[in-house]
A and B are shown apart, each in its own frame.
Chain A
Protein backbone atom coordinates (compact mmCIF):
# COMPACT_ATOMS: atom_id res chain seq x y z
CA UNK A 1 0.00 0.00 0.00
CA UNK A 2 2.99 2.31 -0.45
CA UNK A 3 2.77 5.45 -2.50
CA UNK A 4 5.23 8.08 -3.64
CA UNK A 5 4.90 11.19 -5.78
CA UNK A 6 8.07 12.90 -6.97
CA UNK A 7 7.77 16.18 -8.81
CA UNK A 8 9.78 18.75 -10.67
CA UNK A 9 8.85 21.85 -12.64
CA UNK A 10 10.89 22.92 -15.65
CA UNK A 11 10.12 25.39 -18.39
CA UNK A 12 6.47 25.67 -17.41
CA UNK A 13 5.85 21.93 -17.29
CA UNK A 14 5.22 20.24 -13.97
CA UNK A 15 6.01 16.53 -13.99
CA UNK A 16 4.95 14.16 -11.23
CA UNK A 17 5.96 10.50 -11.18
CA UNK A 18 3.49 8.38 -9.22
CA UNK A 19 4.66 5.10 -7.73
CA UNK A 20 2.60 2.49 -5.89
CA UNK A 21 -1.07 2.77 -4.96
CA UNK A 22 -3.16 5.93 -5.14
CA UNK A 23 -6.26 5.39 -3.00
CA UNK A 24 -8.08 6.89 -0.02
CA UNK A 25 -5.06 6.70 2.26
CA UNK A 26 -2.59 8.29 -0.17
CA UNK A 27 -4.77 10.86 -1.99
CA UNK A 28 -3.98 13.57 0.55
CA UNK A 29 -0.26 13.12 -0.05
CA UNK A 30 -0.76 13.48 -3.81
CA UNK A 31 -2.95 16.56 -3.32
CA UNK A 32 -0.16 18.23 -1.36
CA UNK A 33 2.27 17.63 -4.23
CA UNK A 34 -0.28 19.08 -6.67
CA UNK A 35 -0.61 22.15 -4.45
CA UNK A 36 3.18 22.52 -4.35
CA UNK A 37 3.64 22.43 -8.12
CA UNK A 38 0.61 24.63 -8.78
CA UNK A 39 2.31 27.38 -6.76
CA UNK A 40 4.85 27.59 -9.61
CA UNK A 41 2.09 28.32 -12.16
CA UNK A 42 2.87 25.60 -14.69
CA UNK A 43 1.02 25.65 -18.02
CA UNK A 44 1.15 21.86 -18.36
CA UNK A 45 1.00 18.99 -15.86
CA UNK A 46 2.45 15.62 -16.83
CA UNK A 47 1.72 12.61 -14.64
CA UNK A 48 3.99 9.60 -15.23
CA UNK A 49 1.88 6.58 -14.33
CA UNK A 50 3.86 3.56 -15.49
CA UNK A 51 4.74 2.67 -11.89
CA UNK A 52 1.25 3.35 -10.53
CA UNK A 53 -0.17 -0.08 -9.73
CA UNK A 54 -3.59 0.84 -8.30
CA UNK A 55 -6.03 3.73 -8.62
CA UNK A 56 -9.35 4.11 -6.82
CA UNK A 57 -12.01 6.81 -6.97
CA UNK A 58 -10.24 8.69 -4.16
CA UNK A 59 -7.25 9.04 -6.46
CA UNK A 60 -9.43 10.12 -9.35
CA UNK A 61 -10.79 12.91 -7.18
CA UNK A 62 -7.22 14.20 -7.01
CA UNK A 63 -7.47 14.79 -10.77
CA UNK A 64 -10.49 17.02 -10.15
CA UNK A 65 -8.43 18.78 -7.50
CA UNK A 66 -5.57 19.24 -9.99
CA UNK A 67 -7.92 20.81 -12.53
CA UNK A 68 -9.26 23.15 -9.89
CA UNK A 69 -5.86 24.15 -8.53
CA UNK A 70 -4.21 24.64 -11.91
CA UNK A 71 -7.11 26.18 -13.79
CA UNK A 72 -8.92 25.01 -16.91
CA UNK A 73 -6.26 26.32 -19.29
CA UNK A 74 -3.62 23.94 -17.98
CA UNK A 75 -3.30 20.73 -19.96
CA UNK A 76 -3.04 17.52 -17.92
CA UNK A 77 -1.26 14.64 -19.63
CA UNK A 78 -1.26 11.09 -18.25
CA UNK A 79 1.61 8.99 -19.58
CA UNK A 80 1.98 5.24 -19.55
CA UNK A 81 -0.99 4.16 -17.43
CA UNK A 82 -1.12 0.42 -16.84
CA UNK A 83 -4.16 -1.27 -18.46
CA UNK A 84 -6.23 -1.59 -15.26
CA UNK A 85 -5.48 1.99 -14.23
CA UNK A 86 -6.33 3.26 -17.72
CA UNK A 87 -9.61 1.34 -17.64
CA UNK A 88 -10.54 2.92 -14.29
CA UNK A 89 -9.89 6.37 -15.77
CA UNK A 90 -12.04 5.58 -18.81
CA UNK A 91 -14.90 4.09 -16.76
CA UNK A 92 -15.31 7.36 -14.92
CA UNK A 93 -15.01 9.60 -17.97
CA UNK A 94 -11.80 11.30 -16.88
CA UNK A 95 -10.26 10.51 -20.25
CA UNK A 96 -12.45 13.37 -21.56
CA UNK A 97 -10.64 15.96 -19.45
CA UNK A 98 -7.04 14.81 -19.81
CA UNK A 99 -4.70 13.65 -22.58
CA UNK A 100 -3.73 9.99 -22.25
CA UNK A 101 -0.44 8.99 -23.87
CA UNK A 102 1.59 5.86 -24.22
CA UNK A 103 5.16 6.15 -22.93
CA UNK A 104 7.46 7.60 -25.57
CA UNK A 105 10.66 6.22 -24.17
CA UNK A 106 12.10 9.70 -24.34
Chain B
Protein backbone atom coordinates (compact mmCIF):
# COMPACT_ATOMS: atom_id res chain seq x y z
CA UNK B 1 0.00 0.00 0.00
CA UNK B 2 1.26 3.42 -0.93
CA UNK B 3 -0.50 6.37 0.69
CA UNK B 4 0.24 9.99 -0.09
CA UNK B 5 -1.42 13.36 -0.20
CA UNK B 6 -2.18 13.92 -3.87
CA UNK B 7 -3.42 16.55 -6.29
CA UNK B 8 -4.86 16.14 -9.78
CA UNK B 9 -1.40 16.95 -11.12
CA UNK B 10 0.34 14.02 -9.46
CA UNK B 11 -2.27 11.33 -8.82
CA UNK B 12 -2.11 10.15 -12.44
CA UNK B 13 1.59 9.40 -12.21
CA UNK B 14 1.13 7.48 -8.94
CA UNK B 15 -1.61 5.37 -10.51
CA UNK B 16 0.47 4.74 -13.64
CA UNK B 17 3.38 3.47 -11.55
CA UNK B 18 1.23 1.02 -9.58
CA UNK B 19 -0.41 -0.26 -12.77
CA UNK B 20 2.98 -0.61 -14.49
CA UNK B 21 4.20 -2.81 -11.64
CA UNK B 22 1.04 -4.94 -11.58
CA UNK B 23 1.02 -5.31 -15.36
CA UNK B 24 4.61 -6.53 -15.36
CA UNK B 25 3.97 -9.03 -12.55
CA UNK B 26 0.81 -10.38 -14.20
CA UNK B 27 2.08 -10.18 -17.81
CA UNK B 28 -1.02 -8.22 -18.78
CA UNK B 29 -1.55 -7.38 -22.42
CA UNK B 30 -1.19 -3.76 -23.44
CA UNK B 31 -4.98 -3.45 -23.71
CA UNK B 32 -5.56 -4.97 -20.26
CA UNK B 33 -2.99 -2.69 -18.64
CA UNK B 34 -4.48 0.31 -20.43
CA UNK B 35 -7.99 -0.51 -19.18
CA UNK B 36 -6.81 -0.92 -15.58
CA UNK B 37 -4.84 2.30 -15.71
CA UNK B 38 -7.68 4.28 -17.26
CA UNK B 39 -10.18 3.08 -14.65
CA UNK B 40 -7.82 3.67 -11.73
CA UNK B 41 -6.82 7.09 -13.05
CA UNK B 42 -10.45 8.14 -13.41
CA UNK B 43 -11.45 6.87 -9.95
CA UNK B 44 -8.42 8.36 -8.20
CA UNK B 45 -8.69 11.70 -10.02
CA UNK B 46 -12.38 11.81 -9.13
CA UNK B 47 -11.56 11.24 -5.46
CA UNK B 48 -8.99 14.04 -5.40
CA UNK B 49 -10.99 16.52 -7.44
CA UNK B 50 -14.55 15.94 -6.27
CA UNK B 51 -14.13 13.97 -3.04
CA UNK B 52 -11.48 16.17 -1.50
CA UNK B 53 -11.96 19.34 -3.54
CA UNK B 54 -8.45 19.34 -5.01
CA UNK B 55 -6.06 17.67 -2.57
CA UNK B 56 -6.20 14.74 -0.19
CA UNK B 57 -4.78 11.43 0.89
CA UNK B 58 -5.30 8.48 -1.43
CA UNK B 59 -4.05 4.98 -0.74
CA UNK B 60 -3.22 2.70 -3.65
CA UNK B 61 -2.60 -1.01 -3.47
CA UNK B 62 -3.00 -3.97 -5.76
CA UNK B 63 -2.33 -7.60 -6.33
CA UNK B 64 -2.17 -10.43 -8.80
CA UNK B 65 -4.41 -13.48 -8.43
CA UNK B 66 -4.54 -16.57 -10.58
CA UNK B 67 -7.25 -15.27 -12.88
CA UNK B 68 -7.34 -11.52 -12.26
CA UNK B 69 -5.45 -8.39 -11.27
CA UNK B 70 -6.90 -5.96 -8.77
CA UNK B 71 -6.12 -2.40 -7.75
CA UNK B 72 -7.78 -0.65 -4.80
CA UNK B 73 -8.06 3.02 -3.92
CA UNK B 74 -8.66 4.00 -0.30
CA UNK B 75 -9.75 7.49 0.76
CA UNK B 76 -11.51 9.37 3.52
CA UNK B 77 -13.56 11.65 1.28
CA UNK B 78 -17.35 11.58 1.66
CA UNK B 79 -18.83 8.17 0.79
CA UNK B 80 -19.18 7.63 -2.95
CA UNK B 81 -20.13 4.40 -4.64
CA UNK B 82 -19.22 4.71 -8.34
CA UNK B 83 -21.72 1.96 -9.18
CA UNK B 84 -24.53 4.38 -8.30
CA UNK B 85 -23.42 6.77 -11.03
CA UNK B 86 -25.98 7.13 -13.83
CA UNK B 87 -24.14 8.03 -17.03
CA UNK B 88 -27.23 8.41 -19.21
CA UNK B 89 -27.65 12.22 -18.91
CA UNK B 90 -24.08 12.88 -20.01
CA UNK B 91 -24.03 10.17 -22.67
CA UNK B 92 -27.27 11.27 -24.31
CA UNK B 93 -26.19 14.92 -24.41
CA UNK B 94 -24.65 16.27 -27.60
CA UNK B 95 -20.91 15.56 -27.15
CA UNK B 96 -20.08 18.95 -28.60
CA UNK B 97 -22.01 20.88 -25.97
CA UNK B 98 -22.24 18.54 -23.00
CA UNK B 99 -21.29 19.84 -19.58
CA UNK B 100 -17.93 18.73 -18.23
CA UNK B 101 -17.92 15.96 -15.67
CA UNK B 102 -19.53 12.57 -15.36
CA UNK B 103 -17.44 10.91 -18.04
CA UNK B 104 -14.69 9.64 -15.79
CA UNK B 105 -16.78 7.33 -13.64
CA UNK B 106 -18.53 6.03 -16.75
CA UNK B 107 -15.17 5.23 -18.33
CA UNK B 108 -13.97 3.51 -15.17
CA UNK B 109 -17.04 1.30 -15.02
CA UNK B 110 -16.76 0.46 -18.71
CA UNK B 111 -13.02 -0.22 -18.67
CA UNK B 112 -12.75 -2.90 -16.00
CA UNK B 113 -14.35 -6.31 -15.65
CA UNK B 114 -15.50 -5.65 -12.08
CA UNK B 115 -15.75 -2.61 -9.83
CA UNK B 116 -16.36 -3.27 -6.15
CA UNK B 117 -17.05 -0.70 -3.46
CA UNK B 118 -17.33 -0.88 0.29
CA UNK B 119 -16.83 1.34 3.31
CA UNK B 120 -14.28 0.03 5.77
CA UNK B 121 -13.62 1.86 9.04
CA UNK B 122 -14.87 5.12 7.58
CA UNK B 123 -12.83 4.83 4.39
CA UNK B 124 -14.02 4.37 0.83
CA UNK B 125 -12.53 1.20 -0.66
CA UNK B 126 -12.94 1.03 -4.45
CA UNK B 127 -11.50 -2.09 -6.05
CA UNK B 128 -10.96 -2.46 -9.78
CA UNK B 129 -10.59 -5.89 -11.31
CA UNK B 130 -9.30 -6.93 -14.74
CA UNK B 131 -9.47 -10.60 -15.73
CA UNK B 132 -6.16 -11.92 -16.97
CA UNK B 133 -7.69 -14.08 -19.70
CA UNK B 134 -10.21 -11.46 -20.93
Contacts and interface: CB of A to CB of B under 8 A. Distances in A.
Contact of B12 (A23, A92, A96, A98): A23
Contacts of A106: none
B37 A57 contact: no
B45 A58 contact: yes
A23 to B, nearest CB: 5
Interface of A: 1, 23-25, 54, 56-58, 60-61, 63-64, 67-68, 72, 83-84, 88, 91-94, 96-98
Given A23-B12, A24-B45, A25-B8, A91 B95 contact: no
Interface residues of B, number: 30
B103 interface: yes
A58 B10 CA distance: 14
Query: How would you classify the secondary structure of chain B's contact residues: helix, strand, loop or mixed?
Result: helix
A93 B95 CA distance: 7
B95 A25 contact: no
In the complex, which of the residues A68, A72, A88, A96 has the most CB atoms of chain B within 10 Å of its own CB atom? A88
Nearest to B10: A25
B84 interface: no
B75 interface: no
Nearest to B108: A57
A12 B13 CA distance: 37
A88 B106 CA distance: 11
Nearest to B31: A84
Nearest to A53: B34
In the complex, which of the residues A61, A63, A92 has the most CB atoms of chain B within 10 Å of its own CB atom? A92
Given A25-B8, A83-B31, A56 B95 contact: no
B89 interface: no
Contacts of A54: 34, 37-38
Given A67-B96, A92-B107, 11 more contacts: A23-B41, A24-B9, A24-B41, A24-B49, A25-B9, A57-B42, A64-B96, A68-B97, A83-B31, A91-B110, A92-B91
B61 interface: no
Contacts of B16: 1
Contacts of A96: 95
